[in-house]
Amino acid sequence: MKVERVELRRIGLPLVGVFRTSFGVERDRDILLVRVEAGGVEGWGECVALPRPVYSSEYLDGAVEVIRRFLLPAVRSLPQHRAHAVEPVFAKVKGHPMAKAALQTALLDAELRAAGTSFAGYLGGVREAVPAGVSVGIMDSIGELLDAVDGFVEQGYQRIKLKIEPGWDVEPVRAVRERFGDILLQVDANTAYTLADARHLARLDPFDLLLLEQPLPEDDLRGHAELARRVRTPICLDESITSAKSAADAIAMGATSVVNIKPGRVGGYLEARRVHDVCAAHGVPVWCGGMLESGIGRAANVALAALPNFTLPGDTSASDRYYARDVTEPFVLENGQVRVPDGPGIGVLPDPDVLAEVTTSVIRL
């Protein structure tokens, strides 16, 4: 299979509500979709880099530049444009996992569409639907937070994740626990704390949280290992896990006892499966993280979440949690679950009319 054409398409999608984290506020999403044409089929991938380098060092304009100048020429230098074959040439380009993941996913989608195989089937999925959790942003008041959580619990979400930061942690957690009782509840700090906050973070211990996600900076594995000895809540790493190797290191050091897998963060779905496997081998449960994806990225994430060691609900929410109108058929919540697409490739395509309406620019390569 050879890539004939590549399209880098930027789309603008307004979020149904603002999403605030310790690193900033998202309102209108600026998303890069990669479309390839190869061997008479198309393939799609979504780049999860944010417009600004505030979650990780990647950012959207940088991803476009890396794809067009370095990654696509590397693909074109190969005799076969297969998803697994790009890994050694992508490895020569340092960093930029989200750009790599987007292009590799488009290639893999084309390859699997041509073969008539679904993403879930190819990756080794064992579930037809996956339990859905929801990530709830930082709010202006506890009342506003309780109303938001109430809405999600009513809709059937199986687990609630609260974004926290210094000044918005123990009290919102206490309020949600008191109001909603025995729900599955966890928190995500997106690196907002330091080890000096260990005693403060231990104040979350009484609330029986499933996990405390990425309290410390990305490169501080030793700090997370030390924090894990000082708090009862299990530590889960997100930003720190950039590969299967880093997952193995973090587990060996005692820095993490649960892992959030985001395919973009680790360079694609093949590496994401390796992270899954390494965690499974160590008895470490995983769940699928999210980056506010459109239906394109969501379809592939939901397929990944069908693998056996995804034993915790992921940030794989329904489309309407994010967008009034998604670019694909919307993913919907059915009994707190999202169905895994079973068509070839990622199993969904963007609606051409919606796509045309939301497109802000197209680069053809």
Task: Give, as ranges, the residues between 164 and 203 that touch Mg ion (CB under 5 A).
Answer: 188
Q: How far is the CB of 48 from Mg ion (least distance, A)?
A: 12
The residues near 3 (Cβ < 8 Å, ≥ 6 apart) are 36, 37, 38, 72, 75, 76, 81, 107, 110
Binding of residue 289 to ligand OSB (CB under 6 A) = yes
Binding of residue 290 to ligand OSB (CB under 6 A) = yes
Binding of residue 296 to ligand OSB (CB under 6 A) = no
Closer to Mg ion at the Cβ: 125 or 215? 215
User: Catalytic annotation on 163?
Assistant: yes
Closer to ligand OSB at the Cβ: 36 or 312? 312
Q: How far is the CB of 135 from ligand OSB (least distance, A)?
A: 4
* CA distances (Å), origin 12, targets 53, 111, 214, 348: 18, 28, 29, 19
Closer to ligand OSB at the Cβ: 56 or 309? 56
Q: What are phi and psi of 60, to 5 degrees?
A: -60, -50
Contact residue for Mg ion among 26, 218, 220, 238 (CB under 5 A): 238
**Can you tell me the distance from the alpha carbon of 134 to that of 314, in angstroms, rounded to the nearest whole number?**
8
Are 16 and 265 spatial neighbours (Cβ–Cβ below 8 Å)?
A: no
Contact residue for ligand OSB among 58, 109, 315, 326 (CB under 6 A): 315
Tokens 């290639």 belong to residue: 107
Instruction: Give the range of 249-257, 286-294, 328-336, 346-354 binding ligand OSB by CB under 6 A.
Output: 286-294
Exposure b/e, 180-189, CB count within 10 A at least 16 = b: eeeebbbbbb
Residue 133's Cβ-side half-sphere holds a number of Cα atoms within 13 Å equal to 24
Contact residue for ligand OSB among 22, 118, 191, 317 (CB under 6 A): 317
Q: Which two tokens stand for residue 103?
A: 């292009």
Q: Which two tokens stand for residue 125?
A: 């999925």
Binding of residue 292 to ligand OSB (CB under 6 A) = yes
Instruction: Give the range of 25-33, 141-149, 205-213, 332-340 binding Mg ion by CB under 5 A.
Output: 205-213
Q: For the window 236-275, what string marks contact with ligand OSB as x by the rule CB under 6 A? A: --x-------------------------------------
Binding of residue 58 to ligand OSB (CB under 6 A) = no
**Three-class DSSP category at 361:** strand
Are 349 and 328 spatial neighbours (Cβ–Cβ below 8 Å)?
A: yes
Are 345 and 113 spatial neighbours (Cβ–Cβ below 8 Å)?
A: yes
Among Mg ion, ligand OSB, none, partner that 292 touches (CB below 5 to 8 angstroms by kind): ligand OSB
Binding of residue 145 to ligand OSB (CB under 6 A) = no
Residue type, 60: L
* CA distances (Å), origin 136, targets 133, 157, 276, 315: 10, 12, 25, 10
The one catalytic residue in 92, 161, 163, 245 is 163
Closer to ligand OSB at the Cβ: 107 or 191? 191
Work out the angle at residue 314's Cα, subtended by the Cα atoms of residues 276 and 131, and round it to the nearest 5 degrees.
110
- Binding residues for ligand OSB, rule CB under 6 A, total 11
Among Mg ion, ligand OSB, none, partner that 119 touches (CB below 5 to 8 angstroms by kind): none
Binding of residue 190 to ligand OSB (CB under 6 A) = yes
Closer to ligand OSB at the Cβ: 29 or 81? 29
Q: 62: part of which helix (H) or strand (E)?
A: helix 60-66
Give the residues lining the site for Mg ion (CB under 5 A): 188, 213, 238
Active site amino acids = 163, 262
Residues interacting with ligand OSB, by CB under 6 A?
A: 55, 135, 188, 190, 238, 289-292, 315, 317
